Amino acid sequence: MTRDQARECARDILQIIPLVMRTVAAQLRSAGELPAPAHFGLLSILCERPRMLTELASLQGVSMPTMSNSISAMEERGWVRRAAPTEQDRRVAMIEVTTTGRAALERVARSAETHLAEMLAPVDVTSRRRLHNGLGVLRKIFASEPAASAGRQRNRRGRRPYVA
């Protein structure tokens, strides 16, 4: 990729992603799912299988305090549970999704689906395929677990909240 292409791509991302973000967030807000934008991904991950906090922070690319708070918020809503520490290692608290949580995920997905379907309706087939492919690429780029970095408080394994 040439310098110009990189810059164009950067501008595109910087202009478009926040816009999409705002729109989706607004849709969820209006659907009464206030804190969903950040929690949705978490629920998805946790539906797969329970995880520890560090793992979740890594996967989502946020700091551990942030993840701790998010989980606390979701716990209060009854969407997840901090499982009792195991005999193996009493430090870790595995996070599990509850039935309520699964239902919430379903609800949010349905809500988003409705709104997005509306927005996607006027889009032709070719564009939809392009959208799908493009999202796939973004996923590959941003959802992978890049090389670890050094130092405390920096998600040593996996994605980190970009420190320098």
Partner DNA sequence: CATTTTGCTTAGGGGACCTAACCATTATAC
Partner DNA sequence: GTATAATGGTTAGGTCCCCTAAGCAAAATG
The residues of the shown chain that bind DNA, judged by CB under 7 A, are: 18, 22, 26, 29, 34-39, 52-55, 60-66, 68-73, 82, 88-94, 152-153, 156, 161, 163
State the minimum distance, in angstroms, from the CB of residue 142 to its own copies. Answer: 5
45, 145 Cβ separation under 8 angstroms: no
- Phi and psi torsions of 96, nearest 5°: -120, 145
The vertex-64 CA angle with 60 and 67, nearest 5°, equals: 60
Residue count, binding to its own copies (CB under 8 A) = 66
Residues 77-136 that bind its own copies (CB under 8 A): 108-110, 112-113, 115-117, 119-121, 123, 127-128, 130-136
Map residues 3-42 to x or -, x wherever contact with its own copies holds by CB under 8 A. x-xxx-xxxxxxxxxxxxxxxx-xx-xx------xx-xx-
Among its own copies, DNA, none, the one that 58 touches (CB under a kind-dependent 5 to 8 A) is: none
- Phi and psi torsions of 80, nearest 5°: -140, 170
Burial class from Cβ neighbours inside 10 Å (0-12, 13-18, 19+) for residue 115 reads middle
Length of the chain: 164
By CB under 8 A, is residue 74 in contact with its own copies?
A: no
Query: Which residues, listed in sequence order, are joined to residue 81 by a DSSP beta bridge?
Result: 96
Complex with its own copies: residue 92 or 149, whichever CB lies closer = 149
By CB under 8 A, is residue 49 in contact with its own copies?
A: no
Please state, in angstroms and rounded to a whole number, the distance separating the CA atoms of residues 162 and 155: 10
Complex with its own copies: residue 83 or 109, whichever CB lies closer = 109
